[in-house]
Structure 1
Amino acid sequence: MNRKKFISSLFTAGALSIAAPVWAESGAAVRKKHRIKVPGYLKEGDLIGITSPAGYISREEVAPSVALMESWGFQVKIGDSVGRRDHTYGGTDAERRDDLQRMLDDDEVKAIMCARGGYGLVRIVDELDFSHFKKVPKWLIGFSDVTVLHGHIHNNLGVATIHSKMCNSFPSNWQTATPIQISTILSIRDALMGTKMQYSAARALSNRLGTAEGVLVGGNLSIIETLAGTASDLNTYGKILFLEDTGEELYSLDRMFWNLKRTGKLANLAGLVVGGFKLKAEGAGSGFGKSIYEIVMEKVEEYNYPICFDFPVGHQVNNFALRCGTKHRLEVRVDGSGLVSI
């Protein structure tokens, strides 16, 4: 398929977009206001640091991402945690913490890409010092376990971040990559360089029509649940919330969506975007009886905001980069399609 035609058709069904920094509500309980800080967009020659604050990854595995980002005109610095190993982690807690801290404090580093997800950020986030990062913000890139950092940075610092694929998702051979792989990886470059972005989702019967504008926040549902009540708790008041997850059974997803409802995270949204939910196979005879669409709609039936399902974000190939903490526009159209733009 012609790549230009593919990309053109991808963005005709609906959209999501980002706008300039805005004032936003920072919490349903406290509702204090802070100004959204958008780090400087990258230009040719800028330095991207790669660190592995969660799971283990080898230097060989990050090589394709390094080569491609260098081809975009960026310089790349590989942190000490890449290649280190402590069981499933990218080094000990102290090694991962110190490597990320160096990246946060290094003014030459203009963006920090987490090499992969897995598990481990919750073990070190409270030991990180964000005082210099707050004065000189830079882009923090990643998803899955990196939702810990997205929530922590948004709640405490009001700095925009990028939810996207990481080094372990870059194709090993760019020449044989599929059109969707190419588009999603290039969306990282576009997000870093300040390109206006638009994303579409195909028609879904459960979509709720409407238009909303608000700061975009979200990430991995199970991580967001575990952050409730902590210093990294995600603040959703007046926001467009996006959610995704993988490897969970339907009953677990139902429990997590009840958590969102009972903690007030669904009550005052501007809009809701539901991304990919790759399910774990249920055991024999343990059928839950509700689909992900029914689980979500049951929890939001009393609210009136627009809802878009099957959005291209999550643990899947069509996982586009999203600038979290910046204002977006959500449109769920009469034909049932969804559009998000920034």
Structure 2
Amino acid sequence: MRRTVIVIVLLCLTGVVVAQQGQVMPPYLKAGDTIAVVSPSSSPDSATVARGCATLRGWGYVPVVGPHALKSYHGFAGTADERAADLLWALGDPSVRAVMCSRGGDGAVQVLKRISLEVFAQHPKWLIGFSDATALHSAVVAAGGMSIHGSMCDGISMRGERDSVNIIMRRLLEGRLPRYEVPSHPYDQQGEAKGILVGGNLSVFCGLAGSDYDFLNRADEGLILFMEDTHESMTKVDRMLHQLEIRGVLSKLKGIIVGHFSKYKYPENDFADMYEMLHEYLQHYDIPVCYDFPVGHHSQQNLPMVEGCVVHMRVTREGTQIEFTNTF
């Protein structure tokens, strides 16, 4: 695997809530603010949650664990009603300024049907997580908001105080948007684009197709899509790409960021790896495409990505630049 070099430029933003291209940016955080830790998906390990809370306290925040966040019910963190109640509490309580998922797994989609899009729209707060939390990110963006695709309790607690990813997350919560630079990949498709960033776990957001919670319903507005996945075969990923094509999504995208695909069986269908299969498919679209971007499961970095935010994407022979901005 190639060594990824990241150059970070932090852009300081002012203001509390900024509207851009119809999206509402939640208020940024300051020392002493409360972050709710909830478990909308699988049941977490209590020790991991405790370590994550300790990390948040080290950042100067006050973590509060949801009433049902440590429960276990058939592998989930409580019943769907209990998990939804925790998320509704975190969104509705004015003393809570941000919401972090304890872990991913499965089950967030069960929570969505118990929470209307209006709730996400009426209570703009930074919601942090990835993997199964992609379902929540999709709902937030569909409701006109923004959220942070990034590490949860286990991820932030495993990284040191000076870890670059933790530093990016902390400064992002404080109001400074990142700019990423990564080396080129042989399958990169050069070009430049600007659009609203959406994405996350491919199988999760494809599972929301046709629902009100699907951020890809906004494909006509100019989206840049990032995708990652784990434990999915090339055949299943191929099927999901065809689903996106048949829906007319791929032909409307301004750019694609291919993150990490891990723990799948290969070779398969004569492809050496997942990236070769994806390249065979995506090369027919005349848009910039970046491969092996450090985001997703089992990525050493899993860089924070601001969903619903405008990004400027530039893919050249030297590498890829992804710059988050507050203007179109």
What TM-score do you get using the length of structure 1 for normalisation? 0.85
Partner of residue 86 from structure 1, selected from 54, 63, 73: 73
Q: Distance in 1 between matches of 2:247 and 2:192?
A: 25
Distance change (3 Å), C-alpha of 1:243 and 1:18 = farther
Aligned residue-pair number: 313
Deviations 1:172-205 (A, max 9, x none): 5737xxx7xx222232212211113012222211
Secondary structure of residue in 2 paired with 1:339: strand
Q: Distance in 2 between matches of 1:80 and 1:60?
A: 16
My pick for the range that moved more, 56-65 or 326-335, is: 56-65
Alignment check: 8 A CA contact 2:10 2:176 kept: no
Q: Distance in 1 between matches of 2:74 and 2:12?
A: 39
2:176 is matched with which residue? Answer: 195
Distance change (3 Å), C-alpha of 1:277 and 1:321 = same
Alignment check: 8 A CA contact 2:121 2:140 kept: no
What is the deviation of 1:21?
4.1
2:280 is matched with which residue? Answer: 298
Q: Distance in 2 between matches of 1:204 and 1:163?
A: 23
Secondary structure of residue in 2 paired with 1:64: helix
2:301 is matched with which residue? Answer: 318
Partner of residue 232 from structure 1, selected from 199, 213, 219: 213
Which has the higher relative contact order, 1 or 2, with Cα contacts under 8 A spaced 6 or more apart? 1
In structure 1, stretches of 5+ residues that fail to align are 1-5, 24-34
Alignment check: 8 A CA contact 2:10 2:177 kept: no
Secondary structure of residue in 1 paired with 2:280: helix
Tell me the C-alpha RMSD between the 2 structures.
Answer: 2.4
Alignment check: 8 A CA contact 1:48 1:110 kept: yes
Q: Distance in 2 between matches of 1:53 and 1:98?
A: 10
Identity of aligned residues (%): 34
Distance change (3 Å), C-alpha of 1:133 and 1:122 = closer
What is the deviation of 1:136?
3.2
Alignment check: 8 A CA contact 1:147 1:218 kept: yes
1:257 is matched with which residue? Answer: 241
Distance change (3 Å), C-alpha of 1:173 and 1:207 = closer
1:28 is matched with which residue? Answer: none
What is the deviation of 1:294?
3.2
What is the deviation of 1:225?
1.5
Q: Distance in 2 between matches of 1:234 and 1:135?
A: 17
Q: Tell me whether 1:209 sits opposite 2:187 in the alignment.
A: no
Deviations 1:64-100 (A, max 9, x none): 2111211211111111122211121111111111111
Alignment check: 8 A CA contact 1:21 1:326 kept: no
1:168 is matched with which residue? Answer: 154
Runs of 4+ in structure 1 displaced over 6 angstroms? 15-20
Q: Tell me whether 1:49 sits opposite 2:49 in the alignment.
A: no
Secondary structure of residue in 2 paired with 1:98: helix
Alignment check: 8 A CA contact 2:120 2:145 kept: no
Secondary structure of residue in 1 paired with 2:63: strand
Distance change (3 Å), C-alpha of 1:197 and 1:120 = same
Partner of residue 273 from structure 1, selected from 234, 257, 262: 257
Alignment check: 8 A CA contact 1:154 1:160 kept: yes
What is the deviation of 1:161?
0.6
What TM-score do you get using the length of structure 2 for normalisation? 0.88
Matched residue type, 2:146: A
Matches within 5 A, 1:1-342: 9-11=5-7, 21-23=19-21, 35-155=22-142, 157-172=143-158, 174=160, 182-235=163-216, 236-237=219-220, 238-281=222-265, 287-290=268-271, 291-316=273-298, 317-335=300-318, 337-342=319-324
1:30 is matched with which residue? Answer: none
Alignment check: 8 A CA contact 1:18 1:326 kept: no
Secondary structure of residue in 2 paired with 1:152: helix
In structure 2, stretches of 5+ residues that fail to align are none
Secondary structure of residue in 1 paired with 2:231: strand
